[in-house]
Amino acid sequence: MKVLATIAGILLAGSSFVQAQENCNPNPPNGMSEIAAYSIFGGNYQNGDYPFALNYGRWMLCKKPKTMEGNPRFNLSTQFSKLIKIYTEIGLEKQNPSEREAYLDSALMIFEMSFEIFTDQEQDKYELHQRRGRYFLENYRNIENGLQRAYEDFEAMFRMDAERTTKLAKGYYLRVTLDNMVRDDARKQEVVDMINTAKPFANEEQLAYFDELLNKVFDSPEERLGFCSDKLEADPNSIEDLKCVADAQEALDMQQELIVTLRKIHSLAPTFESALSLADIEKGNASYKEAAKLYKEALASAPDDKNKKEINLDLADVYSSMDDLKTAKTYINAALKIDSNYGLAYLKMANIYGQAVSKCTENRKLEAKDKVVYWVVVDYLNKAKQVDSSVSNAVTSQLATYEAVTPSTEDKFFTLGYEQGQKVKVDGSLMSCYSWINETTTVR
């Protein structure tokens, strides 16, 4: 079937438009003045009579007048937008695919012409890419490679103004562009580069989407490790890439390498979270001195009392592991000062007092005086259970063990000379190695 010659009125040759002499007439029809033809064109466009409007507006595609005598408000870019809609609406009404395609091609030619003839001041090229991209998206069923051509315009928008595109339409244009790019394995680096460029302008929802997308792009820890390690060669102090490497190392259980990476991250950008994370790892690896140093850093920047009391107990654990029980006790008391109903702190105190007996009797037999300390242990276990039901099970499992080794009747009344209900001081007066305990308990 013959495609109407009046559809395009303009032809694409190479990279520029040339007039087809037999079809493109720069003069209004019927010898009319430009302003008269323009008036008829505008009126019929408003009324939706697109074929009639096209007859009186096609000449503008040939002459491309940027001004019009008698109409100082004339704007050619606006008229081109109208003509794009006219060709599209007429084309979509056509049942014949060839005719429909020809009309839509004409609309696309007008977009191309707009890029070519308008200056940046006359036409926002960013907006033009957006409009054409939307056009491809809305009509992709009738345009060859319509979807891909839409994504190319959206990518052009991002290259022109990354911030504007990241924020535009709540990130819609950036999202569909990235979703398209990840389908091509060869574009992985481009995806990462685009995300890194967009991140400074992204909101929390977009950042979460970026993380999700990167996990799809690099769907194995080995792949992420290789990718991020390569990037670190170019910028060894990139916090973002170091964190990527750390995540991959953790997933691959590369503990020694992970510690090295986390230490570097913390040295470059120390935070509460990085100090606490690294301290936990050092503690788990029995590097207690380093763990103590890091826990103290974390404690100094802890955001709330909950974190502070928990870190104080972490420090107590570290110092008890180094057999510095006196220092461990100071951190437990610091936790209790924050929360006097912190059951775990009372349980920890009981444990270090039990540890004190083991330490004092390391090279000798257990004596009656040593057993007195176990009354203090039982006191703290009962206190823990009393103030905090969440530690009840842990307390119950230990109580019977410690109660069984408290002073016997013979120890109390014959060896130690105590009376029932008597207050007894557990300090240097009991034994020098218990001087730091400085607690009072009751004979029972």
The share of the chain scoring above pLDDT 70, in percent, equals 95
Q: Domain range spanning residue 112?
A: 1-123
Q: Is the dihedral of CA 25, 30, 36, 37 positive or negative?
A: negative
Place of tokens 């029932």: 420
pLDDT band for position 23 (50/70/90)? low
pLDDT of 318 over the 60 cut? yes
| Amino acid letter, residue 325 | L
In our burial notation (b when 16+ CB lie closer than 10 A, e otherwise), range 106-116 reads bbbbbbebbee
Give residue-wise pLDDT tens across range 76-96.
Answer: 999 999 999 999 999 999 999
What pLDDT score was predicted for residue 45?
A: 97
Q: Return the closest-CA partner of residue 3 out of 104, 132, 141.
A: 104
User: How much is the average pLDDT of 203-228?
Assistant: 86
Strands 423-426 and 11-13 turn out to be unpaired
| DSSP per position, 278-321 | HHHHHHHTT-HHHHHHHHHHHHHT-SSHHHHHHHHHHHHHHHHH
Cβ contacts of 98 within 8 Å, gap of 6 or more = 1, 3
- Report the run of H or E that residue 12 belongs to, with start and end: strand 11-13
Our CA dihedral for 170, 173, 174, 178, rounded to 10 degrees, sits at 130
Q: Using an 8 Å Cβ cutoff, are 67 and 74 in contact? A: yes
Give the whole-angstrom CA distance, residue 258 versus residue 252: 10
Burial class (CB in 10 A: 0-12, 13-18, 19+), 18: exposed
Give the whole-angstrom CA distance, residue 241 versus residue 233: 10
| DSSP per position, 73-112 | T--HHHHHHHHHHHHHHHHHH-SSHHHHHHHHHHHHHHHH
pLDDT of 9 over the 90 cut? no
What pLDDT score was predicted for residue 19?
A: 38
What pLDDT score was predicted for residue 112?
A: 96
Between the alpha carbon of residue 281 and those of residues 166, 243, 284, 337, 341, the distances in Å are 38, 16, 5, 27, 28
What pLDDT score was predicted for residue 255?
A: 87
Give the whole-angstrom CA distance, residue 137 versus residue 242: 39
With respect to residue 30, please indicate whether it lies within any of the assigned structural domains: yes
SS3 426: strand
Q: Using an 8 Å Cβ cutoff, are 365 and 349 in contact? A: no
With respect to residue 347, please indicate whether it lies within any of the assigned structural domains: no
Alpha carbon 36 to chain centroid, angstroms: 58
* Beta-bridge mates of residue 164: none
Tell me which of 288 and 224 has the higher pLDDT: 288
* Domains contained in the chain, number: 1
What pLDDT score was predicted for residue 11?
A: 37
Between the alpha carbon of residue 79 and those of residues 39, 43, 90, 106, the distances in Å are 12, 12, 16, 14
Q: Which long-range contacts (CB under 8 A, 24 or more apart) does 229-232 make?
A: none
What pLDDT score was predicted for residue 10?
A: 37
With respect to residue 164, please indicate whether it lies within any of the assigned structural domains: no
Give residue-wise pLDDT tens across range 271-305.
Answer: 999 999 999 999 998 999 999 999 999 999 999 99
What pLDDT score was predicted for residue 376?
A: 98
Give residue-wise pLDDT tens across range 368-414.
Answer: 999 999 999 999 999 999 999 999 999 998 999 999 999 999 999 99
pTM: 0.56
With respect to residue 288, please indicate whether it lies within any of the assigned structural domains: no
What pLDDT score was predicted for residue 214?
A: 82
What pLDDT score was predicted for residue 4?
A: 37
Half-sphere exposure of 353 (CA within 13 A, CB side): 29
* Beta-bridge mates of residue 424: 441
Q: Return the closest-CA partner of residue 65 out of 75, 50, 56.
A: 75
